Amino acid sequence: MRAVTRWFGRSVLVVAVAIGGCAAKRQPTAKLEVVEVALREADASGSAQYAPLELRLAREKLDLARRAMNADDPERARRLSEEALADAQLAEAKTNTEKARRNAEEVRKGTEALHEEATRPLAEP
């Protein structure tokens, strides 16, 4: 219960800060969640296999963004989370590309085999 109150208090503070003064700067907390979702999606699509570098970058930056948040550096946190989001989305895009490529390759092989079979003369000689 006390935790809820504390969270509520923090939210009010964040909103107040957002409204007053730095209205142009977006709220970093919401951004972190968006990055988390994008990361989960990239991971689920198979990025660990097809785009491991981008996935790792996204994870590391998300981690750094969280630390920046805790260290009271929302600007840095926002930059890092923006970058992490782009990295995670790139990871997923690359994964989808690689999967589509592999599928096309498989279809190509299958069609070639079929073509060979279709053009082979029937029966003996």
Q: Please give the C-alpha separations between residue 13 and each of 38, 99, 114, in angstroms, as whole numbers.
A: 27, 45, 67
Residues 106 to 125 in contact with another protein, rule: CB under 8 A: 107-108, 110-111, 114-115, 117-118, 122-125
With contacts defined by CB under 8 A, name the span among 11-19, 26-34, 37-45, 94-102 that binds another protein: 94-102
- When the beta carbons of 33 and 105 are compared against another protein, the nearer one is 105
State the residues that interact with another protein by CB under 8 A.
75-76, 79-80, 82-83, 85-87, 89-90, 93-94, 96-97, 100-101, 103-104, 107-108, 110-111, 114-115, 117-118, 122-125
